[in-house]
Amino acid sequence: PRRLLTAAPPALVPSGRTGDGDGAPRPLYMDVQATTPLDPRVLDSMLPYLTAYYGNPHSRTHAYGWESEAAMEKARKQVADLIGADSREIIFTSGATESNNMAIKGVARFYKSRKKHIITTQTEHKCVLDSCRSLETEGFRITYLPVKKNGLIDLKELEAAFQPDTGLVSVMTVNNEIGVKQPIHDIGEICRERKVFFHTDAAQAIGKIPMDVNDMKIDLMSISGHKIYGPKGVGALYVRRRPRVRLEPLQSGGGQERGLRSGTVPTPLAVGLGAACEVAQQEMEYDHKRVSQLAERLVTKIMSEVPDVVMNGDREHRYPGCINLSFAYVEGESLLMALKDVALSSGSACTSASLEPSYVLRAIGTDEDLAHSSIRFGIGRFTTEEEVDYTVQKCIQHVKRLREMSPLWEMVQDGIDLKSIKWTQH
C-alpha cells in the first residue's frame, strides 16, 4: 500500500528526491496560496468513489447511480454547512475560475435588459477581471474600484460608484497575493440596501475564516477545492435562493445542477470537496491559531534581522497565512532562485509566466522596484515550525548576500537618495 500511494511520476527519480539528479530532498512547500496538498482525511473519503463505487450520480435506475448520488448530496450538504447555506444553493463546478465566470457572466446576461453596470475591484483574481473585460465587449459598463495603499477598498468610493442600473458587485474576500481581507460584512450591507447582488470570490477565505452567507449578506460565492486541502478540478458556486438570484448558464447540456451547470458531477471530486469543507470546519480554530503564530514568527524574525522590508497589504485586516514581503534593493527572481530549497512565489501562479510585476502590487501603489522585489510566503495546515525557521534563515542569509552584491544598496548605505539619481543611457 505504501508503494502505491507514494509512487512518483515516471520521469522523476524515486520517492523523496528531486529530478535534477543531485539527490537533494524535495523543497519545503511554502506556496499554499497556489495550491494545497490533499488532507489524508479527504483522500480517504474519496477512495471508495475512485475504486468500487464508480457510478454516475445521474444514473437513476441502479444502485451504482443511487449510491453515487447519495455521496454527492452528502458532499453538497457539507459544503453548504461550512458557509451557512442550504444544500439546494450549492452548484458543483470545475473550480473557482468556472464559478467566477458563471456568477459574473451568468448574472450579468440574465438581467441585461435592465442592469448594465457592474462594480468590481482592481485587485480581483484574473478570471474575475477577464470575465468583466469580456462583458464590456457585450455592452456592459464596468467600474474597477481602486484600492487604498493597504489593499482595502474605500467603502465611500463603493457607495459613490453605484448607478441606477448596477446589477452586480464582485469583491473577493481574501486576496491571494497579499492576503488582505475586504470588509465583506459592510459591502454586503451596502449592496443589500440598494438591492444589488453581491458576489464574492471566497477561494482563499473559505474554511480558513468563518463565512456565513446570511450574516454577510452574500448572494453568490465562489469556492475552490484545491485551496482548502481538497482535490484539484472541483469547486462550487453558492447561489442564493431567497431572494432568488437567477443566472444564465454558461454550459449547456443535460440540465444537471439545476440547469445551471450541465455535465456529470465528478463524484469522487465532489466527495473530496465536501470532506475538505467538513474537515476545515472542524479544524478552523486550531489551524487559524497555529497559522497566526507561525506567521507572526516568520515576519518578526525576518524584520528584526533585515532592514528595509515592507509588508504589502494591511497589517490587521488580513488572513495571516498569506504574507507578501518586498525586500528593497533585492531582485525578487534572484531571491526566489537563491531560495531553491523552498517552494515560494512572487505574484500569483496564474501570472507567473509574464515578466510584469503583479497588478495587485501596482494597485496598492507599490513602487516599481519594490514590486519586483516581492515574495509571497504561504503558511498552511501542514506547515511546521522547522520549515518556517529554515525559510527565515535562508531568506535572511540570501537577502544579505544579494544586497552585498548590489551597487544600489551600496549607494543607499552611503546616504545617496536613489530617486535623485539621473541615470544616463550608454
Q: How far is the CB of 6 from another protein (least distance, A)?
A: 5
H-helix or E-strand containing 221? strand 220-224
Residue 27 near residue 341, CB atoms below 8 Å: yes
Q: Which is nearer to another protein, 109 or 288 (CB)?
A: 288
Q: Which is nearer to another protein, 188 or 380 (CB)?
A: 380
**Of 173, 222, 312, 383, which one interacts with another protein (CB under 8 A)?**
383
What is the rounded CA–CA span in Å between residue 148 and residue 156? Answer: 12
What is the rounded CA–CA span in Å between residue 403 and residue 373? Answer: 12
350 included as an active-site residue: yes
Asked if 6 touches another protein (CB under 8 A), the answer is yes
Q: How far is the CB of 248 from another protein (least distance, A)?
A: 42
**Of 20, 44, 136, 410, which one interacts with another protein (CB under 8 A)?**
44
Sign of the CA dihedral with 93 first, then 97, 100, and 106 last: negative
What is the rounded CA–CA span in Å between residue 409 and residue 417? Answer: 11
Asked if 49 touches another protein (CB under 8 A), the answer is no
Distances in Å between the Cα of 90 and the Cα atoms of 59, 190, 255, 257 are 20, 24, 15, 8
DSSP conformation letters of 2-57: HHHHTPPPTTSPSTTB-TTSS-PBPPEE--TTT--PPPHHHHHHHHHHHTT----T
**Of 17, 35, 47, 209, which one interacts with another protein (CB under 8 A)?**
47
Asked if 244 touches another protein (CB under 8 A), the answer is no
Q: Which is nearer to another protein, 7 or 160 (CB)?
A: 7
Residue 238 CB-half CA count within 13 A: 33
Which grid coordinates are listed for 298? 516568520
**Of 43, 161, 209, 310, which one interacts with another protein (CB under 8 A)?**
43
Q: Can you state the percent helix, strand and coil of the chain, rounding each to 5? A: 40, 15, 45
Catalytic one among 127, 191, 350, 395? Answer: 350
- Among the residue ranges 36-44, 57-65, 112-120, 306-314, the one whose residues contact another protein (CB under 8 A): 36-44
Asked if 315 touches another protein (CB under 8 A), the answer is no
The length of the chain in residues reads 426
**Of 17, 41, 297, 340, which one interacts with another protein (CB under 8 A)?**
41
Asked if 208 touches another protein (CB under 8 A), the answer is no
Asked if 9 touches another protein (CB under 8 A), the answer is no
**Of 214, 252, 352, 384, which one interacts with another protein (CB under 8 A)?**
384
Which grid coordinates are listed for 181? 481581507
Name the one residue in this structure whose C-alpha cell is 512572487. Answer: 346
Provide the mask over 344-373, with x wherever binding to another protein is found by CB under 8 A and - wherever it is not. Answer: ------------------------------
318 beta partners:
180
Rounded to 5°, angle at Cα 179 from 205 and 100: 50
Asked if 84 touches another protein (CB under 8 A), the answer is no
H-helix or E-strand containing 256? none
Instruction: Count CB neighbours of 406 within 10 A.
Output: 17
Provide the mask over 259-298, with x wherever binding to another protein is found by CB under 8 A and - wherever it is not. Answer: ---------------------------x------------
- Among the residue ranges 38-46, 90-98, 179-187, 211-219, the one whose residues contact another protein (CB under 8 A): 38-46
- Among the residue ranges 2-10, 150-158, 305-313, 357-365, the one whose residues contact another protein (CB under 8 A): 2-10
Q: Which of residues 11-30 bind another protein (CB under 8 A)?
A: 15-16, 29
Asked if 303 touches another protein (CB under 8 A), the answer is no
Find the helix packing angle between 40-50 and 267-305, rounded to 10°: 160
Q: Which is nearer to another protein, 40 or 146 (CB)?
A: 40
Residue 224 CB-half CA count within 13 A: 24
Asked if 227 touches another protein (CB under 8 A), the answer is no
- Pinpoint the alpha helices (H) of 145-220: 155-161, 184-193
* Active centre residues (catalytic): 350
- Which residues contribute to the site for another protein (CB under 8 A)? 1-2, 5-6, 15-16, 29, 37, 40-41, 43-44, 47, 286, 381-384
